[in-house]
Structure 1
Amino acid sequence: MANNKTQCFTCNKEKITYRCKGCLKEFCFMDLTEHQQRLKDELNCITNDYDEFKQRINEQKLSPQNHLLREQINLWEKESIEKIQHKAQECRENLIKSSQICINDIEMKYKDLNEQIKQIRKENVFNEISFDYLRNRLMKMTQELNNLSNMSIQQDSKSFINEISIIFSKKPGWGKWEQNPITVAGGNGPGQELNQLSRPFGIFIDENKNIFIADHRNDRIVEWKYNAKEGQIIAGRTEEGKRTDQLNYPTDVIVDQQTHSIIIADSLNRRVIRWLNQNQQILIENIDCYGLAIDKNGFLYVSDYKKNEVRRWIMGEYNNEGIIVAGGNEQGNKLNQLNHPTDIFVNEDESVYVSDTGNHRVMKWRKDSKEGRIVAGGNGQGRNRNQLSSPRGVIVDYFGQIYVADYFNHRIMRWSEGKEEGEIVVGGNQLNHPNVGNCLQSSYRYAIFDSYGLRRTTIERIYLCANISTLTLGTLTSSLSDKYGRRTACILSAIFYIISCLSLNINVVWIFFIGSAARGTAHSLYNTNFEAWLVQAHHNSGLSTDSLKQILANSFVVLSVIAIAVGFVSEYSVDLFGYVAPFDIAIGIYAIMLVFISTQWAENYGDKEASTTTSFITAFQVLRNDPRIVLVGLITVFFEVTLYIYGIEWTPALQHASQWIIYEPLPLGIIYSCISVFNLIGIIVFKPLSKRFRVQSFMLVIFLFTALSFCMLVIFPDVQPVVLGSFCLYELCVGICLPSISLLRSQYLPDSVRATLMNYFSIPRVVLMFVVIVWHLPFAIIFTFCGVTSIMAFICLLILRSMKAPEEYIVPSENVALLPQTTFEASDGIDNKSTTININNE
Structure 2
Amino acid sequence: MSFDEESILGHDRSTRDDKELNRLSQAYLVVYYTVMVSDWLQGPYLYKLYQSYGYTMQAIAYLFMTGFVSGAIAGTTMGGLADTWGRKKMCLIFCLTSSISLFLRIATSSFPILLVSHLLSGLSAGLLFTVFETWLVAEYQDLGFPSRLLDRLFATATFGNGLCAIIAGIVANWAVDSLGIQAPFMVAIGFSVMGALLISVLWKENYGISKEMSGQSLKETIAEGLKVLFRGSRIFSLGLAQTLFECSMYIFVLLYTPALEQALENQDDYVPFGYLFSTLMVAVMLGSQLFRVLTQHTRKLGNSNFYWAFTKGTILSLTLAISAGSFGAMAFWANNVRVLIPAYHIFEFSVGIYFPVISSLKANLIPNDSRAAVMSLLRVPMNIGVCAILWQVDSISMTMLFAICACMNAIGAIIVGILLRTI
The equivalent of 1:722 in structure 2 is: 339
Distance apart, 1:535 and its partner CA: 0.9
The amino acid that maps onto 1:790 is N
CA distance in 1, matches of 2:187, 2:279: 21
Distance apart, 1:572 and its partner CA: 3.0
The equivalent of 1:790 in structure 2 is: 409
1:556-705 to 2 correspondences below 5 Å: 556-606=158-208, 607-608=211-212, 609=214, 610-658=216-264, 661-663=268-270, 666-692=271-297, 693-705=310-322
Distance apart, 1:619 and its partner CA: 1.4
CA distance in 2, matches of 1:588, 1:463: 23
The equivalent of 2:101 in structure 1 is: 500
Higher strand share: 1
Aligned residue among 335, 348, 354 for 1:737: 354
Contact 1:566 1:673 in 2 (8 A): no
CA distance in 1, matches of 2:58, 2:369: 42
1:786-825 to 2 correspondences below 5 Å: 786-801=405-420
Contact 2:100 2:117 in 1 (8 A): yes
CA distance in 2, matches of 1:458, 1:688: 44
Contact 2:320 2:413 in 1 (8 A): yes
Deviation digits for residues 766-820 of structure 1 (CA, Å, limit 9, x no counterpart): 1211221122321121111111111121112112236xx6xxxxxxxxxxx6xxx
Distance apart, 1:699 and its partner CA: 2.7
Deviation digits for residues 580-628 of structure 1 (CA, Å, limit 9, x no counterpart): 1111111111111111111111111122313222211111112232111
CA distance in 1, matches of 2:378, 2:239: 6
The amino acid that maps onto 1:772 is I
CA distance in 1, matches of 2:261, 2:340: 10
The amino acid that maps onto 1:487 is K
Partner SS, residue 453 of structure 1: coil
The equivalent of 1:138 in structure 2 is: none
Deviation digits for residues 175-199 of structure 1 (CA, Å, limit 9, x no counterpart): xxxxxxxxxxxxxxxxxxxxxxxxx
Deviation digits for residues 122-164 of structure 1 (CA, Å, limit 9, x no counterpart): xxxxxxxxxxxxxxxxxxxxxxxxxxxxxxxxxxxxxxxxxxx
CA RMSD of aligned residues (A): 1.8
Partner SS, residue 129 of structure 2: helix
Partner SS, residue 493 of structure 1: helix
The equivalent of 1:519 in structure 2 is: 121
Contact 2:44 2:172 in 1 (8 A): no
The equivalent of 2:90 in structure 1 is: 489
1:315-714 to 2 correspondences below 5 Å: 443-454=44-55, 456-509=57-110, 510-606=112-208, 607-608=211-212, 609=214, 610-658=216-264, 661-663=268-270, 666-692=271-297, 693-714=310-331
Partner SS, residue 396 of structure 2: coil
CA distance in 2, matches of 1:498, 1:667: 31
The amino acid that maps onto 1:543 is F
Is 1:781 matched up with 2:386? Answer: no
Deviation digits for residues 50-96 of structure 1 (CA, Å, limit 9, x no counterpart): xxxxxxxxxxxxxxxxxxxxxxxxxxxxxxxxxxxxxxxxxxxxxxx
Partner SS, residue 691 of structure 1: coil
The equivalent of 1:758 in structure 2 is: 375
Partner SS, residue 505 of structure 1: helix
Higher helix share: 2
Distance apart, 1:667 and its partner CA: 3.9
Partner SS, residue 657 of structure 1: helix
Distance apart, 1:745 and its partner CA: 0.8
The amino acid that maps onto 1:548 is L
Deviation digits for residues 454-486 of structure 1 (CA, Å, limit 9, x no counterpart): 455543332222122112211111111111011
The amino acid that maps onto 1:702 is T
Contact 1:568 1:673 in 2 (8 A): no
- The verdict on how the C-alpha distance between 1:459 and 1:771 changes in structure 2, with shifts beyond 3 A counting, is closer
Contact 1:661 1:720 in 2 (8 A): no
Contact 2:234 2:420 in 1 (8 A): no
Deviation digits for residues 480-504 of structure 1 (CA, Å, limit 9, x no counterpart): 1111011111111111111111112
Contact 2:95 2:193 in 1 (8 A): yes
Deviation digits for residues 356-384 of structure 1 (CA, Å, limit 9, x no counterpart): xxxxxxxxxxxxxxxxxxxxxxxxxxxxx
CA distance in 2, matches of 1:499, 1:488: 17
CA distance in 2, matches of 1:681, 1:654: 23
Distance apart, 1:661 and its partner CA: 4.8
Contact 2:148 2:295 in 1 (8 A): no
CA distance in 2, matches of 1:777, 1:571: 32
CA distance in 2, matches of 1:745, 1:456: 36
Distance apart, 1:678 and its partner CA: 0.6
Partner SS, residue 54 of structure 2: coil
- The verdict on how the C-alpha distance between 1:661 and 1:495 changes in structure 2, with shifts beyond 3 A counting, is farther
CA distance in 2, matches of 1:585, 1:662: 34
5+ unaligned residues in a row in structure 1: which ranges? Answer: 1-441, 806-816, 818-842
Give the number of aligned pairs. Answer: 361
CA distance in 1, matches of 2:200, 2:90: 11
Q: Bigger relative contact order, structure 1 or 2, given CA contacts below 8 A and separation 6+?
A: 2
TM-score in terms of structure 2 length: 0.81
TM-score in terms of structure 1 length: 0.42
CA distance in 1, matches of 2:417, 2:314: 9
